[in-house]
Amino acid sequence: MLKIAEHEFNSRLFTGTGKFSSAKLMLEAIQASESQLVTMAMKRLDLSTGSDEILLPLQQSGIKLLPNTSGARNAKEAVFAAELAKEVLNTNWIKLEIHPDPKYLMPDPVETLAAAKTLCDKGFVVLPYVHADPVLCRRLEEVGCAAVMPLASPIGSNQGLATETFLKIIIEQARVPVVVDAGIGTPSQATHAMELGADAVLVNTAIASSPDPVAMARCFSQAVATGREAYLAGLGQVSSRAEHTSPLTGFLNE
């Protein structure tokens, strides 16, 4: 069972709530994913349209809500966003994300580390979204983050595990859960991340942008469970040459 801070999760698939064509579809997909933690964002309310009608059904579902600081351009704004999220959702959990660059949404490591320290000192359970940088992940762990969330590839890109080499190092070194976040585009990529030993994966776009998000959510659920089981079972060694699996006795000639 996955444990982050003192909270236990049966499912190792976390999901985002963005980009779904309707709130109804989003809720159905999350249910199909069996996810027990979903991310949400904070935004200035548009008084003419009112708020999204997603909060109440999600709260009623009993799924843990993880607000993010998306939109924050620096540590100060991220800390402010976390305070707002705490006020609305009555949670001290925060997905810390600071990505001022609009084209690639690359997380700013300097601001993220500064914000993480401040938020941890204030008693938040901080899950920072970062580049797959093993050194940074260690530093975030040292300031008290409850998990680290290195990216597989750019947010929403569906490019898969572009950072695999570095994810392996992070997984090897981490003493807090590693949640591979961003860029996972297919269930097989989620399986692969779990086979590497990731503690969980976070998927949003790959589910939300599928023509059948509910079916895709189910596929990701199975994929993550399979990857975890394979990791626990232990993968075989990779060899550069063939290793025979049948006896080589040449019986036809003997």
Partner 1 sequence: MHLTKAPLDLKHVSTITVSINDQPYIIAETLSIEGLLLAQNIAINSVAVVCNSQVVTKGQWKEQRCIEGDSFEIFAVVAGG
Nearest to 106 by CA among 118, 97, 119: 97
In angstroms, how far is CA 177 from the centroid of its own chain?
Answer: 11
Q: Is 227 annotated as a binding residue?
A: no
DSSP code for 119: H
Shorter beta-carbon distance to partner 1: residue 20 or 231: 20
Q: Which of 150, 156, 160, 183 binds partner 1 (CB under 8 A)?
A: 156
Map residues 184-203 to x or -, x wherever contact with partner 1 holds by CB under 8 A.
------------------x-
Decide: residue 186, CB within 10 A, 0-12 exposed, 13-18 middle, 19+ buried: middle
DSSP string, 138-198: HHHHHTT-S-BEEBSSSTT-----TTHHHHHHHHHH-SS-BEEES---SHHHHHHHHHTT-
Shorter beta-carbon distance to partner 1: residue 36 or 204: 204
Map residues 204-233 to x or -, x wherever contact with partner 1 holds by CB under 8 A.
xx----------------------------
For 2, the token pair is 């996955």
Map residues 86-125 to x or -, x wherever contact with partner 1 holds by CB under 8 A.
-xxx------------------------------------
Q: Which of 13, 40, 125, 193 binds partner 1 (CB under 8 A)?
A: 40
Provide, rounded to whole angstroms, the least separation between the CB of residue 248 and partner 1.
Answer: 52
Question: What phi-psi label fits residue 224: left (phi over 0), alpha (psi between -120 and 50 degrees) or beta?
Answer: alpha
Q: Which of 3, 64, 86, 95 is the catalytic position?
A: 95
Q: Which of 20, 93, 124, 231 binds partner 1 (CB under 8 A)?
A: 20
Provide, rounded to whole angstroms, the least separation between the CB of residue 48 and partner 1.
Answer: 10
Q: What Å distances lie between residue 223 and 30, 74, 229, CA to CA?
A: 15, 35, 10
Q: Is 43 a catalytic residue?
A: no
